[in-house]
Amino acid sequence: MCPLQSLHVSMSFLVLSSVILVGSLGQCQLKDLQES
């Protein structure tokens, strides 16, 4: 595997993990808003 391809894979993995993190944080805030 060429370095450029591995860089692309790591970048997409980073984007995917950040999307999941933001999504879970958003769900927690929504729950707090509904409970209050």
Judged against a pLDDT cut of 90, whether residue 4 lies above it is answered with no
Which has the higher per-residue pLDDT, 12 or 3?
Answer: 12
Residues 19 and 5: their CA atoms lie apart, in Å, by: 21
Please tell me the distance from the alpha carbon of residue 32 to that of residue 36, in angstroms, as a whole number. 6
Q: pLDDT at position 19, please?
A: 96
Q: How far apart are CA 8 and CA 15, in angstroms?
A: 11
The reported pLDDT for the residue numbered 3 is: 77
